[in-house]
Structure 1
Amino acid sequence: MPHHLLKATPTSNPAARISSISRHLLGGAQSTANPSFPSTTSVSSTQNRNFSSSPSANMSSQPEHPTLLIPGPIEFDDAVLQSMSHYSESHVGPGFVATFGDTLSMLRKLFQTTSPSSQPFVISGSGTLGWDLVAANLVEPGEDVLVLSSGYFSDGFGDCLKVYGANVDLLKAPVGSRPQLPEIEKALKSKKYKMVTVTHVDTSTGVLSELQKLSETVKSVSPDTLLIVDGVCSVASEEIDFDAWKLDGVVTASQKAIGCPAGLSISMFSGKAMDAFKARKSPPASYFASMKNWTPIMQNYEAKKPSYFATPSPQLIHALHTALSQILTKPLSERFARHREVSDKIKKAVADLGLTQVAGNPDDQAHGMTAIYLPETVKATDLLPKLAKSGVVFAGGIHKEIVTKYVRFGHMGVSVTDPARSDIDKAIDALKSGLADCGYQKA
């Protein structure tokens, strides 16, 4: 078995895992809960809705609140939130069916796929539901899966696959890095894998995995193996060229760079992946997460035909429709370039403070978040409340090996793309003053 290639076992201490994940919310726990969005907000029709970003850095239609700069959920544009106030309507009525159909079609543009065999899914649930969708449908009990591990969430994907009976091998990288192509190639040659999973950006470390060369390696060494991407913390902030890179599946969620409130599991699968599902010998191992149940629903909605398996959230679909409409008003290349530009600015500010990142190699650093090692003299439990007093919310650490040693700064979506917002400068200033208040001085 290749170096660092470990046989995954079921999580031995679920309580410890739950305790660890709770630290993801550490920053938010230090600040006052956000007030509810006013019920008096005016509602405009889909046809007449203004898809431009918020005109004011004060977010005029939103109550005053700390700026949320964790790696998701993120700050939301006014128009997206206003979409959530859409009047109640039937989930099989013509108005909603048209909106949902357009939303599915726009997802094809976001993922950059024009293949008729590609299949989008939008299902009520969190990003984690994407793991179940993959594990319940694309792998059968006893089949081998190679999980490329770059942090907490990579390992979580492996845990999910194990629950559904897959034989999971973890190819682990040291904290702050990712498995390298030579060792991946060696692992692929060691046995026949049904699937390789990679977490594009592991939210626990801010490590960015490279997809294009990875796909070329997988297709070259093991062309029948499916390549599945966890893009929860990357879609809409990092480039993903679904067709050109020959990806077989990307799962994501609504509340990160897409900029829609939490509650939607969003995914895209290739024709090859759908064929693998159709060829399985046993039924899907889930009812709610069954592609057998959901595929005809998605196909009917995209064809503007009413359909039903389980009730979607019309309000969330309207918000997603608005968010995607905003994203697609400009070339995706501009969006990705803007995220890179702001990321570079933040990472320079971190370096100027004498701090380092969890992801040490610049090529491995995500552009929608930054995981920052704290000075030895500063504790996250001291720094995060000071940031909150400055009106900025960061997240605490979550990777068990370094959990107390770092904080996470999310910078994606409107906080990056809306020139009227001062979120990023505000956060950098708060970080500087917060560290100073904790007694830190650059050596």
Structure 2
Amino acid sequence: MSARKLCMIPGPIEFHEDVLAAMGTPATSHVDPNFIPILGESIEMVRKVILSEVAQPFITSGSGTLGWDMMVNLIEQGDEVLLLNTGYFGENLADCLTTYGAKVTQLRAPAGSRPSADELKAALAEKKYKMVTVTHVDTSTGVLSDIKKVAEIVKATSPETLVVVDGVCSVGSEEIRFDEWNLDIVITGSQKGLGVPPGLSIVIASPYAIKVFQERKTPIPAYYSNWNKWLPVMQAYEARKPAYFATPAVQLVYALHASLKKITSEPMQVRFDKHRQVASDFRKTVKDLGLKQVAQCEECSANGMTAIWLPEGVEVAKLVPALANKGVQIAGGILKDIATKYFRIGHMGISVMEDERQHIPKVVDALTSSLTELGYKSA
């Protein structure tokens, strides 16, 4: 393990040894009496992570993108959707919703920014929306949206409008208070703040969202994503009973269970605060190096990752391998038109919560020395 590169991209992140050990669980039936409580308890612990007493989690095999696809349960042909676009993943979510017949209006912001509260209020005044979607952290830019404020504005204007949060790059690293903030959907995947290998899609739905799903007027034009198939399965496992629709990723669920046990072993506020502090310190280091981050303000900067503009004369095609040669894997940019102009570094999970691992200092050292090697001289 010591010879491999630290995975410090914005997901997949580093995995705890207990999580990796759980992946080594021998072949086990998905209806084995030993597995049933593992999935059942995982469903319950997901609620604790997003601070909900009443939400319905769905844990299924698939990437975080499958969570977008599951919005087919709420969208009907011609439904109006307002999408707050802060980057690459907002753009792709719009494409997904359009596939299922939604009429998507995008409220865009310049790279590194987010739509303002006034812009949101103005958009909501123009028409009635079935759903408002917001990417909590857009992994392409490191921009953090204020989902509490978004939900507050939406619900004050139109209580019937669903508030859908893409939390793929935020659950487990950013503060989310599902019940208190009146959210309806949070979508995430296993491989980022939850610290589990890729392969699990996790969607959390409010009782109101479930009601909207149950009262829809048209059939759901999907099979695998269909909540009519999955809801009885989730309810059965939480009641510690076997059920079947499609085979779960048993070993990944064991890994999720191991990670969630660690995450929920202390108050979530401790985790939120630690990610904020480490991110703030890292942003200061970036600034001290004479670099600028893509996110344009402190309050719109993610706590689980940072996107950084490349200094003049340094190419991402040289910077990424330079760090890799020092045992640290970082990521280039992915936002259209500016992808070659910036790079991204993740700081989530055990890399943040367990100081003794020294992951963040290693990243800083590798970044500093690599920039020097490539001819960059900080101010």
Q: TM-score range by the shorter chain?
A: over 0.9
| Alignment match, 2:270 | 334
The one-letter code of the counterpart of 1:105 is E
| Alignment match, 2:17 | 78
| Alignment match, 1:422 | 358
CA distance in 1, matches of 2:152, 2:353: 32
CA distance in 1, matches of 2:267, 2:331: 31
| Alignment match, 1:133 | 70
| Alignment match, 1:108 | 47
CA distance in 1, matches of 2:147, 2:227: 25
Summarize the alignment of residues 148-187 of structure 1 with structure 2, pairs less than 5 Å apart: 148-187=84-123
1:92 aligns with 2:31: yes
The one-letter code of the counterpart of 1:131 is W
Summarize the alignment of residues 220-369 of structure 1 with structure 2, pairs less than 5 Å apart: 220-369=156-305
Give the drift of 1:223.
1.2
Is the partner of 2:104 in helix, strand or coil?
strand
The one-letter code of the counterpart of 1:298 is M
CA distance in 2, matches of 1:365, 1:324: 25
Summarize the alignment of residues 25-36 of structure 1 with structure 2, pairs less than 5 Å apart: none
Flag structure 1 segments of 5+ consecutive residues without an equivalent: 1-61
CA distance in 2, matches of 1:166, 1:212: 24
Summarize the alignment of residues 192-231 of structure 1 with structure 2, pairs less than 5 Å apart: 192-231=128-167
CA distance in 2, matches of 1:367, 1:98: 32
* Identical aligned residues as a percent: 52
CA distance in 2, matches of 1:344, 1:234: 16
Summarize the alignment of residues 7-22 of structure 1 with structure 2, pairs less than 5 Å apart: none
CA shift digits 1:270-296 (9 cap, x unpaired)? 011011101111111210000111001
Is the partner of 2:164 in helix, strand or coil?
strand
CA shift digits 1:71-108 (9 cap, x unpaired)? 00001000000000011111011111111111111111
CA shift digits 1:206-254 (9 cap, x unpaired)? 0000011111100111111000000000001000000000000000000
Give the drift of 1:401.
2.5
Is the partner of 2:340 in helix, strand or coil?
coil
Is the partner of 1:217 in helix, strand or coil?
helix
| Alignment match, 1:370 | 306
Alignment counterpart, residue 124 of structure 1, candidates 54, 61, 64: 61
Give the drift of 1:414.
0.6
CA distance in 2, matches of 1:406, 1:143: 36
Is the partner of 1:404 in helix, strand or coil?
helix
| Alignment match, 1:42 | none
Deviates more, 1:238-247 or 1:101-110: 101-110
Give the drift of 1:111.
1.2
Is the partner of 1:174 in helix, strand or coil?
coil
| Alignment match, 2:127 | 191
Flag structure 2 segments of 5+ consecutive residues without an equivalent: none
CA distance in 2, matches of 1:392, 1:83: 25
Is the partner of 1:298 in helix, strand or coil?
helix
Give the drift of 1:408.
0.1
1:396 aligns with 2:332: yes
The one-letter code of the counterpart of 2:145 is S
Summarize the alignment of residues 42-81 of structure 1 with structure 2, pairs less than 5 Å apart: 62=1, 64-81=3-20
| Alignment match, 1:51 | none
Deviates more, 1:91-100 or 1:242-251: 91-100
The one-letter code of the counterpart of 2:97 is L
Is the partner of 2:357 in helix, strand or coil?
coil
Taking structure 1 as the reference length, what is the TM-score of the superposition? 0.85
CA distance in 1, matches of 2:238, 2:10: 30
CA distance in 1, matches of 2:60, 2:342: 33
CA distance in 2, matches of 1:94, 1:112: 28
CA distance in 2, matches of 1:195, 1:64: 47
Give the number of equivalent residue pairs: 379
Give the drift of 1:194.
0.2
CA distance in 2, matches of 1:166, 1:435: 46
Deviates more, 1:123-132 or 1:214-223: 214-223
CA distance in 2, matches of 1:350, 1:333: 26
CA distance in 2, matches of 1:329, 1:275: 32
CA RMSD after TM alignment? 0.8
CA distance in 2, matches of 1:298, 1:379: 47
Give the drift of 1:63.
5.4
Is the partner of 1:123 in helix, strand or coil?
strand
The one-letter code of the counterpart of 1:369 is M
CA distance in 1, matches of 2:296, 2:114: 11
Give the drift of 1:341.
1.1
After superposing on structure 2, the runs of 4+ consecutive aligned residues of structure 1 that deviate more than 4 Å are none
Is the partner of 2:364 in helix, strand or coil?
helix
Is the partner of 1:196 in helix, strand or coil?
strand
CA distance in 2, matches of 1:342, 1:64: 26
Summarize the alignment of residues 400-411 of structure 1 with structure 2, pairs less than 5 Å apart: 400-411=336-347
CA shift digits 1:378-426 (9 cap, x unpaired)? 1100111110011101000000121111000000001111122011001
